[in-house]
Amino acid sequence: MTKSSEPPPTLGVIGAGYWGPNLARNFHELGALGTVCDNNPEALEKLHALYPDARACRDADDMAADNDLTAIAIATSAATHGAMTRKFLEAGKHVFVEKPLCLDPIEADEIGHLADELDRTLMVGHFLLYHPAFQALQAAVADGRVGKFQYLYSNRASFGKIRTEESALWSEGTRG
């Protein structure tokens, strides 16, 4: 695989709480982290100390107006995802948003159509869709190596953060 000679897009990560630092670390390792943002000054200071070369801001509107940022990763509370995603798409940014995209399926469809209309990439962080075990199972079903499912059981060993705004249906559902 050849690497592109173009530098990766400059990304901003909004949310310095639970998952945002993981995104910031990965984007930093790719050389793409441009800005970190959180409205909590202590959380922002802690994240910015890890990546001092990145700009720090406390207001998402500053990121939306920043022409140096071409993409935004959103790792805020689920209730804010829809409005923030819309804001950044309308500002001309590509958007990666942690699951769920939003809490209203009608709003999710509207945001998907908006991304299409604006020719912006919109990706939701359903990381298990890309896990090798899930991809192997999907391939086995598609290839006919597994018969018709009557029942499927799965046990996740780690629950992660217990959430109050969303359910497993919202977190693991897929669009479309």
Share of the chain above pLDDT 70, in %: 83
Angle of helix 78-90 relative to helix 105-117, nearest 10 degrees? 20
For residue 160, name the pLDDT band (cuts at 50, 70, 90): low
Rounded CA-CA distance 37/120 in Å is 21
Domain 11-172 sits in CATH at 3.40.50.720
Q: In this model, does residue 174 exceed pLDDT 50? A: no
pLDDT (0 to 100) of residue 47 = 96
Among 86-100, 134-148, 150-164, where is mean pLDDT lowest? 150-164
Using CA atoms, how far apart are residues 56 and 53, in angstroms rounded to an integer?
A: 9
Q: Which strands form 94-98's sheet, in the order they lie side by side?
A: 55-57, 33-37, 11-14, 71-74, 94-98, 122-125
